[in-house]
Structure 1
């Protein structure tokens, strides 16, 4: 019997045990699901970056490390990890991200904060139609593409950007440094959904924030390190950036005294844009285990050299 080690932390075990066993049965996966095992007997590991397991060297028979998170930056650089690593692409996570992004894009597009009247006056500022609002999505992976398509379906003028060229998309997409400058220059609302890598850390620095139209809005449910915090605060203070809605941060929970919490042009949400759902994620895990047992290509395998 194949041994599958649940190494995603004791706190998650009660949430995942029953859905995983059910998904294994539905997928026809024959495996002994355990929280402790002799490493030499383990054929696959279900993992989360906060796990106590940090040394993968003893797991000589392991053919899959299945991450429960979409992000892999906290594991991909582990020098002991030589086993195939797969990230989580959970339909529930994708749906949650699409709902968060479209909700906040609509909030800023329609000026909802401004139109809630708490003082005397009747300031009727009519927003443009969606087709007149330029929205750019940085990062065209599973989450970015899903969000871009949803925004396009709402009739926004959507464009995208990725580090490498993408073809066959239903909206304009650019890539590379020159492409980044082009898409930022046309972004009334910018959504950042890139992975965190050495190349994307502080991608939105002072210079690139100045490439945005004055008063642009940034929505970041991707990774906190994509934006230079000090540069963003300076751009907000001088009006170059009109508002920033931030769901992810370099330090989480965000410290109570962090300037983002009290800045009038910043909305802070507590990393709620998208989360892995045990029921749907368990089916993804089971499918990859089924593929592993049958020698088929694994889903969502990470390129360890590229970091995503």
Structure 2
């Protein structure tokens, strides 16, 4: 009953002592060639081999090193294997902070002030108070809820949207297709933290942008496949969208000729909004395997029929 980690040396150094201390009954291995594939019950990585099901026929848990699982959700798994995404405090904290930073920058019109700085123009812009801004989050999982909680003290009007109904104190929650249109109405800054599924691919498109108030801002920290990039460029050029913080793209890295590199109303970051923290991920993984071994469902268990 072996746990095989296929990841970085840094992560391996963090995981090994935690497994030795807290889960000594499960052998911890990082070298696939050093273990009989039939003994591997738990496999963790980011990119998995195409012959996963035949190479490791006795897998019980396939664990992603990150919160995203679209790279493996459609992979063939052994019949009884379950897919688990990473749920740990480190990545949630980073994504939350990125979204708060980007929201405040859009709220205080930092993109416009940077343009004025380049023009050596010392001029105050009109103020909009937080209670005059509606901030909406697409995706009310752990990261979406953490982001909304962090934004609450600023006094914004908060809304959220998810596939199924949710209740969050102080947040107007919407769900389903009709709910999305209702949330977009009046949304000044839209934050995307959705999982990537066939239903959410290119959800950030011209039709959606047109339903936002003119000059709205976008924070895209979900997955690259959510965004129709030419539609965003067109919406920014027309003034329908006022500015965007973009952390994920498709493909990654972007080609040198992609207009997002140089667009004056885009702040582009190289997929750094979140990153799994090795030490807290090790503790979360050990706790999850213990849950599984005692008959409890692992945290982050993926419903493959839904894609998240």
Which residue of structure 2 aligns with residue 104 of structure 1? 102
Match of 2:14 among 10, 15, 19: 19
Q: Structure 1 residues 221, 239: closer, same or farther in 2, change over 3 A?
A: same
Which residue of structure 1 aligns with residue 139 of structure 2? 139
- Pairwise CA distance, 1:127: 2.3
Aligned partners of 1:302 and 1:280: how far apart in 2?
20
- Check if 1:94 corresponds to 2:92: yes
Range 16-25 or range 201-210, more displaced: 16-25
Aligned partners of 1:45 and 1:90: how far apart in 2?
17
Aligned partners of 1:77 and 1:277: how far apart in 2?
26
The answer (yes or no) to whether the contact 1:29–1:289 under 8 Å persists in 2 is: no
- Check if 1:248 corresponds to 2:248: yes
Q: Structure 1 residues 158, 26: closer, same or farther in 2, change over 3 A?
A: farther
Partner SS for 1:191: strand
Which residue of structure 2 aligns with residue 199 of structure 1? 199
Q: When the two structures are superposed, what TM-score results if normalisation uses the length of structure 1?
A: 0.93
Match of 1:114 among 107, 112, 115: 112
Q: Which runs of 5+ in 2 are unaligned?
A: none
The answer (yes or no) to whether the contact 2:111–2:265 under 8 Å persists in 1 is: no
How many residues of Structure 1 are paired with residues of Structure 2 in the alignment? 302
The answer (yes or no) to whether the contact 1:111–1:127 under 8 Å persists in 2 is: no
Aligned partners of 1:168 and 1:118: how far apart in 2?
42
Which residue of structure 1 aligns with residue 183 of structure 2? 183
The answer (yes or no) to whether the contact 1:84–1:301 under 8 Å persists in 2 is: yes
Structure 1 stretches (4+) deviating beyond 6 angstroms? Answer: none
**Per-residue CA distance 1:51-86 (angstroms, 9 max, x = gap):** 446422343332211111101011010123541111
- Pairwise CA distance, 1:29: 4.2
- Pairwise CA distance, 1:307: 0.7
Aligned partners of 2:158 and 2:78: how far apart in 1?
38
- Pairwise CA distance, 1:113: 3.4
Match of 2:74 among 50, 70, 77: 77
Aligned partners of 1:55 and 1:61: how far apart in 2?
10
- Pairwise CA distance, 1:167: 2.5
Q: Which runs of 5+ in 1 are unaligned?
A: none
Aligned partners of 2:152 and 2:17: how far apart in 1?
37
Which residue of structure 1 aligns with residue 213 of structure 2? 213
